[in-house]
Every structure is written in structure tokens, then in C-alpha cells.
Structure 1
Amino acid sequence: MLSFIFNSCQDKNKKTMKEEFDWKESVSCPLGYPVDVFMGGLELTDGGYTSLFSGLHTGLGGWGSEGRSMSSGVKPLPKRLNVIWISFVEKTFYHVDAELDYEKIAGLFRKGYYLPSINKDNPEPFKENYWTINVGFAPGGMAVVWVAGAARQIEIGRYQGIKTEIPKEQVEKLKDEPVYSMLRPEYQESVIKNPGIVPQEVQDANKDKPIPYGLWDTYRKKYNWKINYELPKEAELDQMTYKLYNGEKVVLFGDYQIKKYDIPKELHWDYEEEKAIPKLISFRWNEKVKKNCGGYIKFKEDQIFKAFEELTQGKAEGIPLQITIRITHTGDDASVWLEGNGKSIGLYKSEVKIF
């Protein structure tokens, strides 16, 4: 089985495509649910592959965060995910073999995106390229692929792995290999009890609780929501950043920059499209006598998910919602509300920081 997977990474679909980009691979997992890749990786359009085998991943940065990379460079893009990994908390190996949406990946790499400049001498927005294919593994065999760059990450797709066992004859051959440790129950147990891998507070919080299978799929549910800012008098929104629970991240331009520069519509702060529930929203605005005012709202997970569910009554499609951020007239505090369906819910558990 293992030789089949390895060979398929090299031999399947030998048709070569000439498109090449400078990119690296990365692996992600949720905090508290460490993973390690046993074998395999991303199959490329020229018949080669990029391995995802790069050591244990802890998820300390959270779901969707980038891990280490072993093969940054110019090469074709991937067309398939074919990999075996271990979920240490489950003590289970999973195998996923799935075709990726090549055109979606290539379209993002070809187009790139724009970011606001922080250079006072060259204030115009600048074009940035995507440079990472990030692969996330969550309990239950869930795999997600994102395309990422500086301050931006977009989901490509979600894939389902199946439980798999490593044949005994292969295990015997691996005793002198680093991957053999993944097969040992005592090593698996040591990983999940190591506070340097799973912080003690996370171990304590998860103790005696079942694994929340399906949680990371709820993160992917998209809603028809937008932002409404109530800023101090004569202030203009400069830019904002969304960090979403599904691992996506985007930077958008406010009115201050839209008036000065030719910003693509999809990067306008008020561009309407369905998106996942926000984990954090940071923002910046300018006043007549004060520039570069800003802050962030970090949402409390249980509260914001309950509020979205309550206002949509479980029917996300088509129900317009609005997150209103009210900055005080003094510009040093803010409140945040979720509104829609004739109701308004104060998100008072949110962490608010204004500077």
C-alpha cells in the first residue's frame, strides 16, 4: 500500500503543464490536536510531488496557521492531495487521495492581490503574490487546503480522509526509520501529554471531553454578513482585516484609500459576499486631526456562534446580517453588535482594543 501511494505521487497523470510559481508547502492543525505526516504530499501537474513530511505539527498558531516548510522554490502547482497522516489524539492514521481544484489555485496565483502600503514615501497599495499551499488536518480525517500569502489566506476545498492501518510487513521494515515512532503507542501517548506540544491548560480543558468531531466543519459555514462602522465625526475608514474561523484571512481597503487609489471591487471594505464567521476584525481609520487610529475586536467563540445561529434560526442562506462596530466619539473605546432579522445582540464578551 505504501509503495503504491509513493509511486502514485510520481507516476499519476504525467502530462506536464508549463505554469510555474514560487511557492512552499505548509501543514496546519487545531491547537490540542497535533498531527504528523507519515507519507505523501501534493502531486504536481508535471508528475512530480512536494512532500508534506516535515515533522510534528502542534497547532500552536491555531487552525489555519502556517507550519514549517521544506521545499520553497519555483515549481508547478499541485493538482492532487495524496497523503497519510496520524492524528495523535485519536491514535489513528488517515489517508486522503483527492483531486484539487487546479484552476482555482492557479487563478489565485496568476492574479495575486493588493495590500495597503505602510511606506510613507510610497503610500500606494502594492501587489502581492500568493506563496503557500497550506494543508490542514483536523480530527475525523478532515483535510482542508488553503492558498496563502502575506495577510491573506483563501480556502480551496475540504476533503475527507479514511482510516487506514499500516501493514505489519511494512512496520517491520520501518523499525530503523524516523517514521517508526509514529506507530508506537507509547510515543503517541507522550505527544498528547507533552505540555510543549499540547499546552497544559488545553489538556486540562479537554480532559474527559469527547473529541468535537464536526466542529471544524461548522467553522466553514458561510453567512450573508457585512460590517457597519460608526466612527467619530468626520472620520474615514482606512483599512480592515478579517480573520475568519474557517482559517481564511483577508485585508480590505476603506473609503480613505478607495477614494485615492484604483482598488479592485472585491477588496473594498463593503464588498458583499458570503463568508465564514469572524474570529477577529482589526481596523484603522483617519480623522482630520489624527491619523492612523485603529483597534481590533476579538470575538468570543461561543457567543458569536450562538448569536449567528439565533438570528438566522439555522438558515444561513439569504438572511442579511450586520456586525456594527460603534467607536465612541472620543475614539478610545468601542462596542460591537450583531444585527439582523429584526433583532440586535450585543457581543459584550468580545475583547475590544482601541489605540
Structure 2
Amino acid sequence: MILKIKNYFLVAMLQLLSVVVSCQDKNKKTMKEEFDWKETVSCPSGYPVDVFMGGLELTTGGYTSLYSGVVDNAEWGSAGRSMSSGVKPLPKRLNVIWISFAEKTFYHVDAELDYEKIAGLFRKGYLTPSYNKEHPQPYKRTYETINVGFAPGGVAMVWVAGIGRQIEVGRYQGIKTEIPKEQVEKLKDEPEYSMLRPEYQESIMKNPGIIPQEVQEANKNKPIPYGLWDTYRKKYNWKFNFDFPNSNEITNRVTCFYFNGEKEILFGDKPIKLYQIPEELRWNKSDKKAIPRKISFSWIEKENKLRSGAITFNEAQIFKTFEELTQGNKEESIKLTIRIIHTGDDASVWLEGNGKSIGLYKSEVKIF
């Protein structure tokens, strides 16, 4: 009996040792893993931010600062300036203090990032269509940017981005914070000190070089739409449906920009027939994704003439219509249909599902 207990104990210890060694090997591999990337900061238009201190903590223990001056992007998720680009380890943690000028509030977020999700994207890469007739095969791309977004209410987002593609990897919540007085005293001769001054904070919000005058006017006397950027993250089960009177072939690409800051270039029929294109990169895939903010696409008419179009959706209308068609059922299948008229110089846009078809008449449509 004693011998059996000893044997069980020995097996358990060997198994535990194996797990420890495996974890150590994995951690060593992770620390050695390096990629060529840069950091950048994003925020919604009209809600400028500036990083007070901190940034992305790397697997090696070092960090990449997110401090780059006042940021006010044209669109949520669009990239700002970058101060550091090169081959280095990927981040494992976001630890940063930033100021939201619209709120005159400092926020602090200290959160672990999903390293395996980030590293998986960098390792795998993705494909983009070729525009070179001599080399029509798709290009293998690598992600090259880690984009950190800050929105009112302490919302912090992290995306991984490359040419024509940006994928959300996490949403984090900052908490309101006060800068200690002793630290304020030490910063009096530093650029960061200006962020603490109310008159400077006010000047940022009134500066047309930072916030365009039309955006200032549009936001005047309006409350900050807290929660809006989380609404953008809601995903629906939908796919594209194109109806061309003089062609049945979409060529080159469908480029989609989503309200949640993601973007992707999807393959049209022609490249799919010629090459092995992953299912997730095809324009006619049906899966859960955020609501589109704008799209561009191209097609070939029967006389072999290349045509293209672009559609910018009315935010209030498209969100309302998605909700109306799904009625809270996240599994409801929706089609976003673009119908080119027979003359080929205009298009109508429809959302179809749940036995209904609703026109998105407020969409801005351009055909080239």
C-alpha cells in the first residue's frame, strides 16, 4: 500500500514538473518573439485626448510609450501619430494615464492584454487583393500597428492593424484618477504640466486646428454620448448581396469600414475563382460583424468595363434598421443589398431580413 502511494506521488510530481517546464518554455518563446510594428493612438472626432504617462508593456518588461501629443482623429479607430516603429516584442499589458479634454478628466487603465490573440494575428498575417495585372496573385501582408483608442467615459480599445485591415482585440475600462500633488510639482517644467491647467484644457476644445469648426458647432450644447462607442461594438449576423444588371461578377475587392473601428478588404468573385482565398476574406461570407460605416466596391460590366462605387451610411438610419429587422434576435440573418440601376450610374441600398426589406434612402451613394 505504501509502495502504491509513493508511486502515485512520484507520477503526480513528474506531471507537475512537466507542466512547469512546458510553461517556462512557452514563456521563453513568448519573450523571444519579435515583430516589426508601431504604436498609435485614436479617439473619436470632437473628443481629443492626450497621454499623460505610460503605454504598452512588452513581454520583456520594457514598454512602448503612447505619448505623442494631442490627438483628435477624424473617425473612431483611425490611426494617429507614431513615435516608435521597429522590430520588438509584442505587448502583454496596457498601463496608461490619459486626459479626456471634453470631460476635463484623467483616466487610468491597467489591464492585461490577450497576448495570444495579438500574437496569433501577427503570426498568421492576411491577404489583400493585387492591383498589378502582371502579378495578379493576392499579397501576403503582416500586421504592423497596434492602435489604442480612448473615448469618453474611460473607454479604452486596442486594435491590431495593417494595410487595409484593422481587427479589435480588446475593450478595457479606465477609472477616473487624480494626479498626486507631489507629482504635479515635479512636472512644472515638463510639457505634461500643461494638461493639468484648466485654461489649456479649454483652449484645446476651442482650437479649430484640433477640432474642426463644424464639429465644434455640431457638438455645441450637446451632452457627451456616453456608451455610444460600446453600442458600435454590437455585432449582427449579416452579409453583402450585390445586384448588378449588366454583370454578375464583383472584381478586385470590397472594402468595408465598420463603426467599431474595424476595417477589412474582402475578395470579389474573380480572385476567389483563381486562388485559394480563406473563407473569412470573401465578400459574401455570412458572419457576425459590426454595422458598416462605409463601403467601396468594384465590378466589371459585360463590355469588360471596370466600374466602382462607394456608399456612406446614415448612422441613425442603419442602426435603427438593424434593430428593427433583428428585434433582439442576434441570430437573425440579414442581407445588405446594393442594387445598381440599369443605366449603371446610381444604386439603391436595402437591408433585408425577417421577411422585410427596408431601403436605406439616407445613404450617400457615389458611382464612378
Provide the TM-score with structure 2 as the length reference: 0.90
Q: Does 1:271 align with 2:285?
A: yes
User: Offset of 1:178 from its aligned partner?
Assistant: 0.4
Partner of 1:51: 65
Partner of 1:146: 159
User: How far apart are the structure 1 equivalents of 2:102 and 2:116?
Assistant: 35
User: Offset of 1:204 from its aligned partner?
Assistant: 1.3
SS of the equivalent of 1:293 reads strand
Partner of 2:337: 324
User: Map of 1:1-355 to 2, 5 A cutoff?
Assistant: 17-59=31-73, 61-238=74-251, 239-313=253-327, 315-355=328-368
Pair 1:207–1:95, CA change in 2 (3 A): same
User: Offset of 1:67 from its aligned partner?
Assistant: 0.4
Indicate conservation of the 8 Å contact 1:129/1:149, yes or no. Answer: yes
Indicate conservation of the 8 Å contact 2:246/2:302, yes or no. Answer: no
Give the letter aligned to residue 63 of structure 2.
Answer: Y
Structure 1, unpaired ranges of 5+: 1-12
Give the letter aligned to residue 214 of structure 2.
Answer: E
Indicate conservation of the 8 Å contact 1:228/1:322, yes or no. Answer: yes
Partner of 1:3: none
SS of the equivalent of 2:64 reads strand
User: How far apart are the structure 1 equivalents of 2:125 and 2:301?
Assistant: 31
User: How far apart are the structure 2 equivalents of 1:207 and 1:14?
Assistant: 53
Determine what percentage of the aligned residue pairs are the same residue: 75
User: Offset of 1:15 from its aligned partner?
Assistant: 9.5
Deviations 1:314-355 (A, max 9, x none): x14111111110012222111000111111111011000111
SS of the equivalent of 2:179 reads coil
Indicate conservation of the 8 Å contact 2:243/2:338, yes or no. Answer: yes
User: How far apart are the structure 1 equivalents of 2:238 and 2:361?
Assistant: 19
Indicate conservation of the 8 Å contact 1:79/1:101, yes or no. Answer: yes
Pair 1:90–1:316, CA change in 2 (3 A): farther
User: How far apart are the structure 2 equivalents of 1:149 and 1:168?
Assistant: 41
Partner of 1:6: none
User: Offset of 1:71 from its aligned partner?
Assistant: 0.6
User: How far apart are the structure 2 equivalents of 1:252 and 1:261?
Assistant: 14
Partner of 1:7: none
User: Which structure has the larger Rg?
Assistant: 2
User: Offset of 1:294 from its aligned partner?
Assistant: 1.0
SS of the equivalent of 2:93 reads strand
Give the letter aligned to residue 329 of structure 1.
Answer: H
Number of residue pairs the alignment of both structures matches: 341
Pair 1:73–1:305, CA change in 2 (3 A): same
User: Offset of 1:235 from its aligned partner?
Assistant: 3.2
SS of the equivalent of 1:189 reads helix
CA RMSD of aligned residues (A): 1.4
SS of the equivalent of 1:274 reads strand
The more displaced of 258-267 and 209-218 is 258-267
User: How far apart are the structure 1 equivalents of 2:331 and 2:221?
Assistant: 39
Structure 2, unpaired ranges of 5+: 1-26
Indicate conservation of the 8 Å contact 2:340/2:347, yes or no. Answer: yes
Indicate conservation of the 8 Å contact 1:16/1:47, yes or no. Answer: no
Indicate conservation of the 8 Å contact 1:21/1:76, yes or no. Answer: yes
Provide the TM-score with structure 1 as the length reference: 0.94
Give the letter aligned to residue 312 of structure 1.
Answer: T
Stretches of 4+ aligned residues off by more than 4 angstroms: 13-16
User: How far apart are the structure 1 equivalents of 2:138 and 2:301?
Assistant: 20
SS of the equivalent of 1:17 reads helix
User: Offset of 1:103 from its aligned partner?
Assistant: 0.7
